[in-house]
Each structure stands twice: as C-alpha cells, then as structure tokens.
Amino acid sequence: MKQRNGKKDKGIKNWPKSERPRELLLEKGPEFVSDAGLVAILLRIGIKGKDAVSLGRELINHFGGLRGLLNANKKELEKIKGLGPAKVSQLLAATEIAKRQLKEQILGKTTIHGPEDLIEYLSMSMANLKEEVFKVVYLNSANVVIAVEDLFKGTIDQSAVYPREIIKRAFELNASGLIFVHNHPSGDLKPSKDDELVKSHIPYVVHASTSSARTEYQ
C-alpha cells in the first residue's frame, strides 16, 4: 500500500488537507481538482485496499477517459469490482444531471445556426448508446429549440417512423423547423438502405403537410 511520510496510508482522510479533493475544491475551486479527484468526490469513499482517488483514476482509465465513464451504463458500471449500488447510482445520477443541464441550456435559449450548436448536447446524450435512437429537435420561427424528443428506439426502418405523428407533434408545439438526429451504435457512419429510405420518405410527407416546415439533417 502507498506510503505517505513514512506512515501507512489509511485513506484520504489521512492526507494533508491541501491534497484532499473535497477540501481542495472548496478552497480553490473545482478547476483545481484532478479528474480522478472529482470522481472521488462523487464516490465519497474508496473500497478495501484502494482510496477513492485511486478508484476514480482506475475507472477513468478503464473507460478511456471522463467521457467514457460518464457514458457508461448501469450494466457496465456493475461489472467493476467494488462498485456497489450506491456508487453506481451516484455516477449515473451525475451523468443524468449533466445531460439535463445541457438540454436545459439549449431549450428556449439557443438559436440554432448549424450542427455545431447542438453537438455538445447530442454528443453527451447519445454517445455510446447501445441501441439506435431517432431523435427530433423542434424549432420555432426564430430557430430556437422548443423541444427535443426521442421518436423511437430500436432498429430503424421505414415502417418504424411515422411522419404524420412528427407533423402532428410539430403543430402541437407550433414548430416551424425540424432537425432529425439518428445514431449508429455500431460506429459505421455509412447510411444503410433503411436509413436512405427513411430520409427520403420523411421530407416528402413534411413538405406535403405544411409549406412552412423546414427540414434539416445531421
């Protein structure tokens, strides 16, 4: 076990106060705390033979960085030795807070000029999803986001997308523009035949239903 000042280390509580993640955060600010230290604050305590900072560092390395850790799902976290229900729920709660904060940030506040205005939110909310998700972003006449909704989850095909339902919802929200978002969990960005069929089918119905609707793709 790691030695500090010639004494056996029994945990973070025995570290110098200036090195403890929580005290460092409160004294100097979160930007002065390492990634592993921030994760340690979420975890609160470590596990037998490993302090919270070491466990946090191990998790970050295991998932390939903070983004990977924050996008890990319940089953992936439960596979890590030492992560019980409490620690898993703490990590999942932190991830969900971040996702909701980003969504709250764009709803009614962000004018969409291009894909880059949505990338941060979409990357956080859709990265590492294990199933395909078809998402619709509804815009008002000023290109401000008024709603973001998942249309369906699962393998995409033409029969799974209901353009009339999209239009019905757009009218309910008084939306003037739509952005359709679809992920590829496999990592293969090449559109499938079903992707192309859906892409060609939706704008036809949209423009046939309302001349004011604008469709954009990402």
Q: Which residue has the higher pLDDT, 13 or 193?
A: 13
Phi, psi angles (nearest 5°) of residue 18: -70, -15
The yes-or-no verdict on residue 146 having pLDDT over 80 is yes
Domains and CATH numbers, the chain: 3-100 (1.10.150), 107-217 (3.40.140.10)
Rg (alpha carbons) of the chain, rounded to whole number: 22
- Would you say the pTM of this structure is higher than 0.75? no
Say whether pLDDT at 57 is over 90.
Answer: yes
- Whether 109 has a pLDDT exceeding 50, the answer reads yes
Q: In the chain, which ranges are continuous DSSP H helix? A: 21-28, 35-43, 52-62, 66-70, 74-78, 85-106, 119-126, 163-172, 193-209
Q: Give CA–CA dist 20/22, Å, rounded.
A: 6
pLDDT tens figures, 6-42: 444 457 776 777 678 999 999 999 999 999 999 999 9
Name, of 16-25, 135-144, 146-155, 186-195, the range with top average pLDDT.
135-144
How many CB atoms are located within 10 Å of the residue 190 CB? 7
